[in-house]
Amino acid sequence: MSTLVLDAVSRWYGNVVAVNGISMTVGPGVTGLLGPNGAGKTTLIALMAGFLSPSAGTVTLDGRQIWRSTEVHRTIGLVPEREISFGYLTGRQFVLANAELHGLADPGAATERALGVVEMTEPAGRRIDTYSKGMRQRVKLASALVHDPGVLLLDEPFNGVDPRQRLHLMGLLQRMGAEGRTVLFSSHILEEVEQVARQIEVVVSGRHAASGDFGAIRRLMTDRPVQYVVVSDDDRRLAAALIAEPSVVGVTVRGVTVRGVTVSGGTVSGRGGLDLAVSDLGSFAVRLPRLARDAGVRIIELTPTDESLESVFAYLVST
Amino acid sequence: MAERGAAERSGVIHDLGYRPYTGPRCGEGAIARALFVNGFLNAFGIGRSGRSKVLPFLLLALNLLPAVIVVGAMVLVGLQTLPVSYAQYASTTQVLLGIFVASQAPVLFSRDLRHGTITLYLARPLRAAHYALARWAALLAATLVFLLLPILMLYVGALLGELDASTQTEDAAKAVLLVVLLALTLTGVAALIASVSVRRGFAVVSTIAVLLLGNGIVTAVQGIATDQERPRIGEIAGLFSPYSLYRGAGATLSGLDSLTPPTGAGMEAAYFVTFVVLAGLCLGLLLLRYRKVAGR
Amino acid sequence: MNATIARLSFQALFGRRRGLVLMVVPALLIGLAVLIRALTEQGVGYELVDNVGFTLALPIVALLASSAVLGPEIDDGSIVYLLAKPVPRHAVATSKYVVAWLATLAFGAVPLLVAGLVIDSSDPRRALAWLVAGVVAGTTYSALFLGLAALTRHAVVVGLLFVLLWEGLLGGLLRGIRWLDLGAWGIEVGASVSSLVPPPGTGLTYALIASAVVALGSVWFAGDRLRSFTLRGDE
């Protein structure tokens, strides 16, 4: 079990603060590091990989400091964003070189194993400069796995990778996490993080904006109402009943055309429906069915519209 | 409900008042002109980061320094002739010139090819050949500035020192001709190498290797030829390096010091012809290279 | 000293186009020597070895070799793959240096011996002297350029400026430069082997010690810079 601990870490370059007092703990399993471009994700990963020294605070792996420790690289596998420029080597030669540099007892076997994991055994005999982007990414991953690290750090691993290989990569990361490794990957694309990591760390402008399960983060934001769309067979009657509820903050009728411009978009069923803003999710969830039954309205569809990471992100970034 | 659903699914483009540009557009000539000016300024680091100005201006200053010293000495001491002739100057400072051309050619040629921005340029109504020509002209202009400024300075100094105006003008004019020929060939060689080997450091070393090693080898051969009293060989060898071509042509035109100056009208003509042919050949290969790049 | 890194550097040097130019330079030198020898008699044109081979070709070869083993990888950041390993940084620098050093000796110093012998086979001692000078100067040059490559992206231009301006232009004008002139130190050592090599006059001990200091210091410096290598992102 390897745990990365960042304790009030800051990093500045002259006047520019790239990372501002971030404290986080990255434990076993898959963690997604989420943030817009320029938020400090690569800086954080560099700090965790030992290629950057914190201007303040400490970065430790199981209690040992990472900066300027050559031994720590035995436990950490880094997949940087940068392209491999060793185009003149074949995939196998590159991974083998990495294995040898780690001082492994049997570099050849480790190489084959790593290539097998990323499913690159067959093209491994070709030169890297003949590879597609996705294949290069997999070779990079193989080179980071060859020494069986307890910690895997990936900087934007899904950048420019085609959908099929992305799925494969996602499955791989989930398997690594399930094996008990500490996997951290960064991305600015919400769908990727959403599908692979349930635990996320959100970094915005060098600051640690949120951490934890994103559904839980969402529920923590109680000052902003949760949005729902409900479609029933009598919207107006339901609306009248709902507005009397204390947990409902706002009701808007959808599909209304005002002066030729449609006020709100359609739903899955294609019917109008109501936009609801709810302040107390728990009591609303209990009250809604009773309300509907008392009003004699049948609910056809109930969809939360902002439980996705997208909306979490939007709230955090928009300030 | 149904048609509302259909209407709701369609899209609508909102008019924010965006208008595409419908006015007159400048033609290809203007584009090439803009590229030329931009390239010329970039060769001196103007329009780029502060650090990129250091090298070209340092070299320029070092290049002008002897001229300043000569003019100062002339005026103070009251010499009757220039201690360093106009044509001789470029020969003496050939190392600085070589480094300048070698280090600035990649700025104009290798950068765009390396980082793929060449496709942005070629997406404009600009033919690849014209792009290459504009860049080449920019490098040529920069090299000419490098070479002509000292001549100008010496000329002004000579006039101020009240040397004979007509001889000075004649000497300076001859030197200008020689220098233009030299600039043409150097630009051609450096541009060609920079466009072929797109990694900056490699292009710089290759250009220097070609220019200075070539010159060194030719000088050595000329020295041996003189020793062996077979100057003809030295004259022929002199055709193989821009600097030796310069010295040979300069020996014919303005009595420049050269180990084995060309003798006989045929050899003298050969020097000038080779100058022009070499410049033309390099330019042609450069255009070919860019045609190949554009065809990709 | 790490064999894998040395092997990778070797492949970097000769897997690229640079490798070809590295071989063209000595080929030119030796080819020319052969040509001169064929057309003239023995001993003519020995200045080819000195003026072209030692002053120009050797530093160019050293620069090409050193900037090829370190420059491109630092430039595009892929040296991180070599550094994210439990290998001491100084071992990385030393391994790369050894490859650059061997290439410099093979393509810069040995050709001096060959060219010298071709031009004048009756005096092998003289050719040997130039070989020694080339070995010493080549060792220092390649170390210095390696250190430069670890320091700045513009290592090549700075290296060229140093060799051509400082040692070449100024060294020819000012006698004092010889105390800070790597080439002069090499010649000093060569002069101790054969009297036909003119010593610049710094004394053998000074030349040897200065060369050793610069070489060791530069390689140590390169290793130190690698220890502080930082991974830059897009910010």
Q: What CA–CA distance (Å, rounded) separates B199 from B106?
A: 8
So what's the pLDDT on residue A120?
87
Q: Please report the number of interchain residue pairs, chain A to chain B, with beta-carbon separation below 8 angstroms.
A: 17
B94: closest chain C residue by CA? C169
All residues of chain B having their beta carbon less than 8 Å from the beta carbon of residue C45 are 220-221, 223-224, 227
**Minimal C-alpha gap between B59 and chain C (Å):** 10
A85: closest chain C residue by CA? C78
Interface test with chain B among A262, A264, A268, by most B beta carbons within 10 Å? A262
B3: closest chain A residue by CA? A270
Tens-digit pLDDT profile for residues B147-180: 999 999 888 888 887 778 888 888 888 889 999 9
The reply to whether residue A272 touches residue B9, judged by beta carbons under 8 angstroms, is: no
If you average pLDDT over residues B2-25, what whole number do you get? 69
Strand order in the sheet with A182-187: A76-79, A151-154, A182-187, A29-34, A199-204, A207-213
> Is C71 an 8 Å CB contact of chain B?
yes
**Minimal C-alpha gap between B211 and chain C (Å):** 11
Which residues, 6+ apart, have CB-to-CB distance to B289 below 8 Å? B132, B192, B195, B196
Q: Walk along chain A (319 residues) and give the pLDDT tens digit of each residue.
A: 688 899 999 998 888 888 888 999 998 989 999 887 777 888 899 899 888 888 999 999 888 888 877 788 888 999 988 877 787 889 999 999 999 998 889 999 999 999 998 888 988 899 888 888 888 888 998 999 999 899 999 998 888 788 888 888 888 899 988 988 999 999 877 777 777 887 888 888 888 878 887 667 666 655 556 788 888 888 888 899 889 988 888 898 887 666 666 555 555 555 678 888 887 777 888 888 888 888 888 888 888 776 555 566 666 666 4
B93: closest chain C residue by CA? C169
Judged by phi (left if over 0) then psi (alpha if -120 to 50, else beta), residue B13 lies in: beta
Tens-digit pLDDT profile for residues B191-208: 999 999 878 888 888 898
C37: closest chain B residue by CA? B224
Q: Which of C32, C55, C63 lies closest to B205 in CB terms?
A: C63
So what's the pLDDT on residue A215?
66
> Is A137 an 8 Å CB contact of chain C?
no
B9: closest chain A residue by CA? A266
For residue C170, give the DSSP letter.
I
Tens-digit pLDDT profile for residues A94-141: 999 999 998 889 999 999 999 998 888 988 899 888 888 888 888 998
**Minimal C-alpha gap between A263 and chain B (Å):** 10
So what's the pLDDT on residue B217?
87
Residue C222 and residue C147 in contact, taking contact as beta carbons nearer than 8 Å:
yes
> Is B227 an 8 Å CB contact of chain A?
no
Question: Would you state the structure tokens that stand for residue A90, as one six-digit string?
Answer: 């074949």
Using alpha carbons, list the distances in angstroms from residue A55 to A8, A59, A202, C42. 10, 11, 21, 67
Interface test with chain C among A42, A84, A100, by most C beta carbons within 10 Å? A100
All residues of chain B having their beta carbon less than 8 Å from the beta carbon of residue C164 are 95, 98-99, 208, 212
All residues of chain C having their beta carbon less than 8 Å from the beta carbon of residue B55 are 154, 157
> Is A154 an 8 Å CB contact of chain C?
no
Question: Would you state the structure tokens that stand for residue A33, as one six-digit string?
Answer: 């590091």
Touching subunits for chain C (3+ Cβ pairs under 8 A): A, B
Interface test with chain B among C160, C161, C162, C164, by most B beta carbons within 10 Å? C160
Judged by phi (left if over 0) then psi (alpha if -120 to 50, else beta), residue B152 lies in: alpha
Instruction: Name every residue in B having a CB less than 8 A away from some CB of C.
Output: 55, 62, 95-96, 98-99, 102-103, 197, 199-202, 204-206, 208-209, 212-213, 216-217, 219-221, 223-224, 227-228, 233
So what's the pLDDT on residue B5?
44
**Minimal C-alpha gap between A49 and chain C (Å):** 8
So what's the pLDDT on residue B133?
93
Residue B136 and residue B289 in contact, taking contact as beta carbons nearer than 8 Å:
no
The reply to whether residue B99 touches residue C160, judged by beta carbons under 8 angstroms, is: yes
Residue A119 and residue A168 in contact, taking contact as beta carbons nearer than 8 Å:
yes
Which residues, 6+ apart, have CB-to-CB distance to B8 below 8 Å? A255, A262, A265, A266
Using alpha carbons, list the distances in angstroms from residue A119 to A78, A83, A90, A91, A190. 19, 19, 15, 12, 26
Output the CA torsion sign for B94, B96, B101, B103. positive
The reply to whether residue C60 touches residue B205, judged by beta carbons under 8 angstroms, is: yes
All residues of chain C having their beta carbon less than 8 Å from the beta carbon of residue A143 are 81
Residue C210 amino acid letter: A
Give the SS3 label for residue A17. Answer: strand
